[in-house]
Amino acid sequence: MAKRRKIYEGKAKILYEGPEPGTLIQYFKDDATAFNNEKRAVLDGKGVLNNRISEFVMTQLNGIGLPTHFLKRLNMREQLIREVEIIPLEVICRNIAAGSLSKKLGIEEGTVLPRSIIEFCYKKDELGDPMVTEEHITAFNWATHQEIDDIIAMTLRINDFLTGLFAGARIKLVDFKVEYGRLYEGEMVRTVLADEISPDSCRLWDMDTGEKMDKDRFRRDMGGVTEAYAEVARRLGIIKEAGGAEILSFNGK
Ligand code: TMP
Ligand code: ASP
C-alpha cells in the first residue's frame, strides 16, 4: 500500500490524506473503547461492519437531501469523505431512557421519553466529554447560534428518518450520537453530518426481544458484540448471512 499521510488517529478510526484536495480517507479500526478509553479491546471485524453500516446510513441520508461528509466506500475498511472542520460537539438524541440519562436522572432504562431530547457534550477526551448547554457553546465560540439551530434541525430529521429505517428492520432506535463539520465551499460554509453512524454510536434494541444490538454489549461485558453488529447489517439488507461470515471471514485491509 502506498504511504499516505495520517491526518488524525482517534479511538476507532484513522483519517488519512485523500486523493484530491478537500477529501480524506476514513479508516475503520477494530478497536473498541468505552468509558473514555478505560476499557479497551480489539473486536475482529467490527471496523468492517461499521464501515458498511455507516456507508449505508449516510447514503440513505444523502438520498433525502441531508448533507453529509460521505462520498463513497473505497474498500472493506475505508471510505472517501469530504474534509470538514469538526465542530467540537457530540450531539446526542434520545427517544428512550438509557445509559447516562437513566443514571443521572434516575429514569428506568426503557422508559419512552415524552419527546425526543437533544443533548450536547463538549468533545474533549481529557475532560471526559462533559455535557454543556447552548450558553457554553456560544459563549466559548464552539458553534454559532445559527449552527446550533441547523444542528438541532438536522439531528431531529436524522432521528425521524433513522427511527423509521431501523423500525423496518424490527430494531428500536433508543438513542444515538452524531457529529457535524463545517464544509467550506468558496465563500460559503455549510454544516454537514460527519464522523459515523453505526452500532458504536447508537443504542439499538431488538423490537421483539429487547436484546441489545449495539456497543452496550461491549460496555456491559455481554459478549457477542460483532455478532450483534452483523445482525444489524443483515437486517438492514447490507449483508446476507446471519453471522456476516462473508465479510468477517475476509478481514481485509
Ligand atoms: P450515554 O447514555 O452514555 O450518554 O450515550 C448516549 C448515546 O451516545 C449512546 O447511543 C452512545 C453514544 N455515545 C457515543 O457514541 N460516544 C460516546 O463517547 C458516548 C459517551 C456515547
Ligand atoms: N466512545 C467513548 C470511549 O471510547 C465512550 C463510549 O462510547 O462509551 O471512551
Binding site membership of 35 for ligand 2 (Cβ less than 6 Å):
yes
- Ligand 1: residue of 90, 92, 121 to mutate (most ligand atoms within 8 A of CB) is 92
Query: Is there an atom of ligand 2 within 6 Å of 31 CB?
Result: no
- Tell me what pLDDT residue 3 has: 78
Which pLDDT belongs to residue 2? 65
Cell of 184: 467550506
Enter the pTM of the model.
0.95
Amino acid at 150: D
Q: Who lines ligand 1 at CB under 6 A?
A: 92, 98-101, 129, 175-177, 201-203
Q: What is the pLDDT of residue 241?
A: 72
Residue nearest to atom 9 of ligand 2 (CA): 36
Q: What are phi and psi of 230, to 5 degrees?
A: -65, -35
Question: Which ligand is nearest to the Cα of residue 123, counting in written order?
Answer: 1
CATH 3.40.50.1860 holds for 86-206: no
Atom of ligand 1 nearest to the CA of 98: 2
Please, what's the b/e burial string for 219-236 (b: 16 or more CB within 10 A of its CB; e: otherwise)?
Answer: beeeeebbbbbbbbbbbb
Rounded Cα gap, residues 150 and 166, in angstroms? 24
Nearest of 89, 80, 48, 53 to residue 162 by alpha carbon: 53
Q: Which tens digit of pLDDT belongs to each residue from 47-65?
A: 999 999 999 999 999 999 9
Instruction: Please report the pLDDT score of residue 249 as a whole number.
Output: 45
* Residue with CA closest to ligand 2 atom 5: 34
Residue pair 106/98 in contact by the 8 Å Cβ criterion: no
State the pLDDT at residue 250. Answer: 40
Alpha helices per DSSP H over 123-224: 134-139, 145-167, 216-219
Phi, psi (degrees; rounded to nearest 5) at 55: -55, -50
Question: On the CB side of 249, how many CA atoms lie within 13 Å of its CA?
Answer: 6
> How far is the C-alpha of 35 from the C-alpha of 59, rounded, in Å?
30
State which amino acid sits at residue 98: A
Domain ranges of the chain: 6-84+225-249, 86-206
Predicted pLDDT at 246 = 53
- Reduce the DSSP state of residue 150 to 3 states and report it: helix
Residues of the chain with pLDDT under 50: 249-253
**Which CATH number, 3.30.200.20, 3.30.70.260, 3.20.20.140, 3.40.50.800, labels domain 6-84+225-249?**
3.30.200.20
